Each structure stands twice: as C-alpha cells, then as structure tokens.
Amino acid sequence: MADAAPAVRKRLKKRTLLATVLASVGVVLGALWGVDTWARQQVADYITDKVQEVLSLDSDEPVSVQIAGVSVIAQVITGTLEQVDVGVSDVTLGEFTGGVALRAEGIPVDLSRPVDTVQIEFTVNEKSVQSIAHNLSATAIDRVELVDSEIRFASVFSLFGFSVDVGVGVEPFADGGEIGFTPTSVSLNGVRTSAADLTDRFGPVAASLLQTRAICVARWLPVALTVDDVAVRDDNLVITIGADKAIVNDASLRQLGSCG
C-alpha cells in the first residue's frame, strides 16, 4: 500500500496541472472574448455614426448594425470585414420616406480601397407613394394604392353631370438612375377597359392621365450607387440600390449622381 502513495500523488499533480492549464486558457479566452466584444461595439458605433451622417438622421434615430464573423479583431487584422448588415426604419430619400436594409460584403478597413458589394433595399409604404402622386401622371390624381405588381392611381371627373372614375395601373421599372412607369391596366368606374377605348371616349383628358412621368432617384444617391430594380412587393414599393467594387469614403459619398 505504501508503494501506491507516490503514484496517487503523481496523478493528483497531473490533474491539478491540467485543471490549472484549462483554467488559464479559460481566462485568456474570456479576456479575448471581452476585447473582441468591445471591438465589435466600437466598429458598430462608428458605422452607426457614419450612417446617421450620410442619411442626415437625428442622433437618436435607431440604427441596427450586425457584423458577421466570429472575431472582429481578426477581421480588422486581415484588413477586411466580411459582412455588415444595417437597418434603419425611417429614412427620407428625396420625396420618398421608408425603411432601409443595407448589406455590404468585403468592406476594407482602408476605405481608399473598394468594397466588394453593397446592396440596399429601400422599402416605401403606400402612404409615402401617395406623396409622389404628381410624378405618376400629367393630370391631378385623387388616390393611389399598391395592388399586386402595380401602382394604381385614379382621378374622378365630372362629365355631363355624371361622376366618372378613371383608374390607371402602372408597373415601375428602373432605367439609368430613374424610376419609370409603364401603364399596364385601365379601368372606367371600376370596370377594366383599354387605353385605346379610354382615349376614344375622353380624348385629351384620358391622354393626360395615361402620360406617366419618371422620377430621377440617382440625384439623391452617392454617384457610386446605381438603381438596379424597383418593384411593388407586399403593398410596398421596393427600390433596390447597389454597387460592385465601389470606393465608399467621405469624398465619394458627398458626390451625388444624376440622370439622363
């Protein structure tokens, strides 16, 4: 039995050493995690400040920032953040008001280098679309609604003492920094008809209603960004804006685009 004592003590020492090592590793990892959490918050705060500055937001306007990847410090050391997602619920872009969801991938720490990709979805609700009704037609518009894939607007006319409700549905499209509108449906007092029939009945009045206009969105955006798509989805107008291999720094953000 006496011979077994040294072996027992040896095993206890090994266990104690292993426990010490594991505890030390845990302390180091905890410290690194704490530092990385701090670094992640610092980067998120910096991004929030830049977003508020670029979008002219109030300092108390909530901005959500999600930085992908396990370690922010490791990403900063390599010189590139993998992916950042930013959300803002109340943004004004020219005549539109809506929510912004931004995703950027391959963001260099050195902003003189280009970002791999930027995609922004600007979601405008029906009420905000009503505020730009004057851009939808050359005549006065009484109401606007978003239905299926269309923006539908209507005007009420008085003809020979009768009230006539004329409706036009248009589908938006993106072209050269502009949002254009293609007439896709026409109704008369709620009954579907054709543009030709409407013109035959009401002449210049119908022609002015069918004459849609374009909205230049590029003039409100940094020149590096392009208007890639626009569509009606779930009763909202969604404008998709993007950039590939674009330099996104203070100088480029101050330079706005144009149309035509």
Q: What would the DSSP string read from start to end of 146-209? A: EETTEEEEEEEEEETTEEEEEEEEEEEEEETTEEEEEEEEEEETTEEE-HHHHHHHHTHHHHHH
pLDDT of residue 31: 39
Q: Give the pLDDT confidence score for residue 232 in this predicted structure.
A: 95
The alpha carbon of 110 is separated from its chain's Cα centroid by a whole number of angstroms, namely: 24
Rounded to an integer, what distance in angstroms lies between the CA atom of residue 30 and that of residue 177?
A: 49
pLDDT given at position 23: 39
Question: Using alpha carbons only, what angle is made at residue 37 by residues 35 and 42, rounded to the nearest 5 degrees?
Answer: 95
* 101: three-class secondary structure by DSSP: strand
Beta strand 226-233 with 236-246 is antiparallel
Single-letter amino acid code for the residue at 217:
V
| pLDDT at site 29 | 35
- How many Å apart are CA 239 and CA 217, to the nearest integer? 10
Distance (Å, rounded) from C-alpha 124 to C-alpha 97? 6
Please list the ranges in the chain whose pLDDT falls under 70: 1-34, 138, 158-161, 205-206, 260
Q: Measure CA 1 to chain center.
A: 76
The pLDDT value given to residue 32: 40
Q: Cα dihedral sign for 68, 74, 76, 80?
A: negative
The domain limits of the chain are: 61-260
Residues 130-165: pLDDT tens digits?
Answer: 877 777 776 777 888 998 899 988 877 766 667 778
What proportion of the chain, given as a percentage, has pLDDT over 70? 83
CB-based contacts of 131, cutoff 8 Å, min separation 6: 95, 96, 97
CB within 8 Å of 163: residues ≥ 6 apart:
156, 157
The one-letter code for the residue type at 74 is: A
pLDDT of residue 15: 52
